[in-house]
């Protein structure tokens, strides 16, 4: 275990951390005195971002949530370097075929969306739980979407909507299971954010999109509870 770990600094992992909401979350967690692992599919890009932003206490980590071997190697690196994990932010996600109707949406595309947004999160949580047991205030935060709410169903982009609805259910299931280990599990929707996924027309900045993530990371169980869905620090309908 390294010196920072012996000194008790908290440790966070952010998937898809090299751009958009993930990058804003990394910056915010550093401000909260976390040592942050920035999960990214392109390690060189992670290094470029860290250098460009002059980020301290951030380590890029090669991590493809769709690849079990990649996930296991990444978590092994955290285990070796730190020995524990306090915050997991499952931010990596995709949206394809935004205007496709379910009668015509390509099913291979749909399966890939579910692989990233749902099974990818499941895979990362399973790998991280052993590192989070016994950590006071441990918290898993899943980045969902308002499109995953049953109150927001529409006939377009069904694969994305379904992946986020499934993620919401996964959040509730893990919250129930991990309560005995004092690990909170919540999800949130950042709203429509100016990112590669959201597009330039979106009204919210990445920092605004990450604000509820950082609030969840900072507040304790009495404030946030577990197995909840949030938007703008308020409960959002499933």
Distance (Å, rounded) from C-alpha 38 to C-alpha 123? Answer: 17
- The answer to whether residue 106 scores a pLDDT higher than 50 is yes
* Contacts of the segment 177-182: beta carbons below 8 A, 24+ positions apart: 178/129, 178/140, 178/226, 179/226, 181/129, 181/132, 181/133, 181/134, 181/138, 182/136, 182/138
pLDDT of residue 7: 54
pLDDT in tens, 166-185: 999 999 999 999 999 999 99
* Lowest mean pLDDT across 5-9, 74-78, 220-224: 5-9
**For a pLDDT cut of 90, what percent of the chain falls above it?**
87
Q: Which CATH superfamily is domain 3-235 in?
A: NAD(P)-binding Rossmann-like Domain (3.40.50.720)
pLDDT in tens, 218-227: 999 999 999 9
Distance (Å, rounded) from C-alpha 17 to C-alpha 91? Answer: 7
- The answer to whether residue 4 scores a pLDDT higher than 80 is no
* Lowest mean pLDDT across 8-17, 38-47, 55-64, 148-157: 148-157
Mean pLDDT of the chain: 94
């Amino acid at each position: 275990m390294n010196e920072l770990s012996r000194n008790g600094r908290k440790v966070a992992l952010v998937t898809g951390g090299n751009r958009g909401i993930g990058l804003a979350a990394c910056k915010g967690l550093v401000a909260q005195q976390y040592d942050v692992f920035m999960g990214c599919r392109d390690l060189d890009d992670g290094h470029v971002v860290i250098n460009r932003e002059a980020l301290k206490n951030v380590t890029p980590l090669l991590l493809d949530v769709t690849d079990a071997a990649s996930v296991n190697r990444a978590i092994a690196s955290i285990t070796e370097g730190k020995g524990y994990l306090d915050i997991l932010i499952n931010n990596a996600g995709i949206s394809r075929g935004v205007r496709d109707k379910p009668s015509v949406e390509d099913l291979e595309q749909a399966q890939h969306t579910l692989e990233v947004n749902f099974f990818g999160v499941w895979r990362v949580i399973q790998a991280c739980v052993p590192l989070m047991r016994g950590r006071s205030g441990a918290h898993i935060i899943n980045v969902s979407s308002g499109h995953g709410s049953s109150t927001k169903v529409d006939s377009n982009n069904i694969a994305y909507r379904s992946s986020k609805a499934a993620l919401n259910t996964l959040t509730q299931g893990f919250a129930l299971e991990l309560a005995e280990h004092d690990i909170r599990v919540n999800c949130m929707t950042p709203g429509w954010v100016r990112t590669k996924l959201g597009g330039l027309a979106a009204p919210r900045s990445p920092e605004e999109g990450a604000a509820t993530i950082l609030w969840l990371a900072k507040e304790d169980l009495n404030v946030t509870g577990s197995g909840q869905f949030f938007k703008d620090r308020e409960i959002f309908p499933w």
